[in-house]
């Protein structure tokens, strides 16, 4: 466990429920089909909900994992994966706990019919600089890059001089993949819906680089395990600059992912349960800390 003695608090100054990962370069419509190496594409789906598209990631034995705040906000009753729809057993929701004995912003659920995929391997914690593939059902982005002059928390689009750039989000959401690399461990992070061991990526102006957006929560983050792709994390939240306009991804923003290596034992034990078990989801932990920039749940 990294930084066990410090719990960082990502208190949302402006929070929204979690649309596909935003990918730098191109016109924003790229990376909507399986990448050449697979990269875990078949394992990432979304909730079956009339007004939301938050992501889910398949684990094994008909069990999925997602962010707990997806359950809190949307209370999904179904999941969509590979063109098939699966009903969620409402009694199977199971909250994952952390090393200090409180709830994380991670939960698992089991569907009531066979998914027909082999189980995914949960990787060891990736080292800083490790290449990652991020897959989610997040927001689409505008075609053109946007530019701002930022001064004292005020963002003037097309102002002069320009010292920030990125993309506005567009309507709709699409399953999409993008690349990035682990920047650093974040340690135990309280995003308001649990205290979770996380790592993060930075969003740079590099073609193909990815940043999380609304509805990417629960999406999988995969690493190359050699013989197959392994699941390293689940997207949880993003951070932006003070005063950053809503519905934008700006270079320098971060995506925070749950480090699943910390919870691999629990995940394996839960996924081994052949029938759903009823578990009352715990209350949200309230732990004091300090804010890191502007945080959005995705």
- Per residue in 131-174, pLDDT tens? 999 999 999 999 999 999 999 999 999 999 999 999 999 999 99
Higher pLDDT, 250 or 226: 250
Supply the pLDDT for residue 202: 97
- In which band, very low, low, confident or very high, does the pLDDT at 49 lie, cut at 50, 70 and 90? confident
> DSSP assignment, residue 266?
H
Q: What residue ranges define each of the domains in the chain, with the CATH number in brackets?
A: 7-113+120-297 (2.40.10.120)
| The pair of three-digit structure tokens given for residue 27, joined into one six-digit string | 């016109």
| The pair of three-digit structure tokens given for residue 67, joined into one six-digit string | 């962010």
Question: Among all chains, which residue has been given the structure tokens 């992501």?
Answer: 55
**Contact by Cβ (8 Å): 169, 139:** yes
- In which band, very low, low, confident or very high, does the pLDDT at 273 lie, cut at 50, 70 and 90? confident
**Contact by Cβ (8 Å): 248, 183:** no
Establish how many alpha carbons lie within 13 A of residue 66's alpha carbon, considering only the half-sphere containing its beta carbon.
Answer: 34
pLDDT greater than 50 at residue 195: yes
120, with CB counted inside 10 A (0-12, 13-18, 19+), is buried
Higher pLDDT, 5 or 8: 8
What would the DSSP string read from start to end of 107-123?
Answer: EEEEBSS----PPPPBP
Rounded to 5°, the CA angle 119-107-121 comes to 20
């Amino acid at each position: 466990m990294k930084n066990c003695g410090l719990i960082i608090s990502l208190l949302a100054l402006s929070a929204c429920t979690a649309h596909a990962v935003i990918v730098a370069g191109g016109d924003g419509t790229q990376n909507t089909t399986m990448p050449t190496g697979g990269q875990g594409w078949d394992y990432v789906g979304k909730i079956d909900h009339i007004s939301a598209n938050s992501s889910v990631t398949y684990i094994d034995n008909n069990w999925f994992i997602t962010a707990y705040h997806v359950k809190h906000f949307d209370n999904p009753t179904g999941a969509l994966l590979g063109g098939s729809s699966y009903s969620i057993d409402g009694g199977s929701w199971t909250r994952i706990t952390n090393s200090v004995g409180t709830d994380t912003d991670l939960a698992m659920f089991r569907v009531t019919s066979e998914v027909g995929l082999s189980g995914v391997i949960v990787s060891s914690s990736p080292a800083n600089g490790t290449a990652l593939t991020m897959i989610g059902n997040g927001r689409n982005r505008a075609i053109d890059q946007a530019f701002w002059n930022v001064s004292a928390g005020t963002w003037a689009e097309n102002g002069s001089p320009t010292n920030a750039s990125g993309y506005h989000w567009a309507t709709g959401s699409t399953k999409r993949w993008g690349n990035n690399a682990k920047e650093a461990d974040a340690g135990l992070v309280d995003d308001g819906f649990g205290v979770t061991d996380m790592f993060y990526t930075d969003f740079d102006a590099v073609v193909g680089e990815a940043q999380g957006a609304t509805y990417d929560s629960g999406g999988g983050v995969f690493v190359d395990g050699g013989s197959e792709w392994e699941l390293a994390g689940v997207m949880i939240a993003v951070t932006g600059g003070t005063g950053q306009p809503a519905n934008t991804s700006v270079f320098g923003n971060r995506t925070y992912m749950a480090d699943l290596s910390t919870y691999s034992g629990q995940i394996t034990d839960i996924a081994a349960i052949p029938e759903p078990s009823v578990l009352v989801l715990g209350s949200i932990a309230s732990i004091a800390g300090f804010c890191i920039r502007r945080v959005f749940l995705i």
